[in-house]
């Protein structure tokens, strides 16, 4: 049973059936996170913009909140953040930046679009503040914006999942999720992708 530890934050012990070696041999560097993956194809959709994908992602996280949990340094417990703060992968001349779009669950698509545009400008100009650059609880990579159809991402440090959205081809869009297997199993990934699909195909709901 989760225990309330803050205004809207939850904390819980990890499931007892997790292999004990997970906490002994894994640290929080992204390259060492034990990844699990799931793929889905959403049909009947056209081009999905990054703001729409972020909004759909935030709604899916609200339905399956473990997807943006934060694992403790000892790998023994996790916290569910109060807000959905989405890291947005942005390509810049100096490399990839992943600034944080805060409280995506509370914002309209139009407000998210304005935030994405602001963060993109700051990232390209290398003027992101620490507040802009840190604090993401889950990351979105819209590789469809550069013409790619599908791909798998690497989870950011201190996050549980990364969602990759590809280019829609003939009304079909590929979506993949990479998640921390210490917290998330295949059933959870399926539930999350179903929630994401519902949000994309029915944007007026929720």
In angstroms, the CA 43 to CA 150 distance is 14
Catalytic residue, candidates 68, 85, 105, 181:
181
Annotate 97-157 with DSSP letters as a single string: E--EETTGGGS-HHHHHHHHHHHHHHHHTT---HHHHS--SEEEEEGGGGT-------PPT
**C-alpha–C-alpha distance, residues 19 and 116, integer Å:** 39
Helices (H) and strands (E) in the chain, counts: 5, 12
C-alpha span between 160 and 6 (Å, rounded): 20
> Edge-to-edge, what's the strand order for the sheet holding 100-101?
35-43, 172-180, 161-165, 138-142, 86-88, 100-101
Q: Which among 28, 40, 103, 185 is annotated as catalytic?
A: 185
Lookup result for tokens 């602001």: 118
Mark whether 24 is an active-site residue. Answer: no
Q: What are phi and psi of 198, to 5 degrees?
A: -60, -40
Cα angle at 159 between 14 and 77, to 5 degrees? 20
Active-site residue, 185 included? yes
Residues identified as active-site:
181, 185
């Amino acid at each position: 049973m989760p225990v309330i530890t803050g205004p809207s934050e939850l904390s819980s012990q990890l499931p007892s059936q997790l292999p004990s070696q997970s906490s002994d041999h894994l640290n929080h560097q992204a390259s060492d996170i034990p990844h699990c993956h799931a793929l889905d194809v959403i049909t009947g959709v056209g081009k999905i913009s990054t703001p729409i994908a972020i909004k759909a992602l935030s709604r899916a996280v609200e339905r399956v909140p473990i997807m943006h949990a934060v694992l403790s340094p000892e790998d023994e417990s996790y916290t569910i953040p109060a807000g959905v703060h989405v890291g947005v992968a942005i390509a810049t001349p100096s490399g990839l930046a992943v600034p944080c779009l805060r409280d995506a669950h509370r914002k309209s698509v139009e407000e998210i679009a304005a935030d994405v545009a602001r963060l993109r400008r700051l990232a390209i100009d290398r003027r992101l503040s620490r507040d802009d650059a840190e604090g993401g609880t889950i990351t979105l990579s819209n590789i469809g914006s550069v013409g790619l159809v599908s791909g798998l991402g690497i989870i950011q440090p201190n996050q549980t999942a990364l969602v990759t959205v590809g280019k829609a081809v003939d009304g079909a869009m590929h979506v993949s999720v990479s998640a921390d297997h210490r917290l998330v199993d295949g059933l959870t990934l399926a539930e999350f992708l179903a929630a994401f699909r519902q949000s994309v195909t029915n944007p007026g709901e929720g």
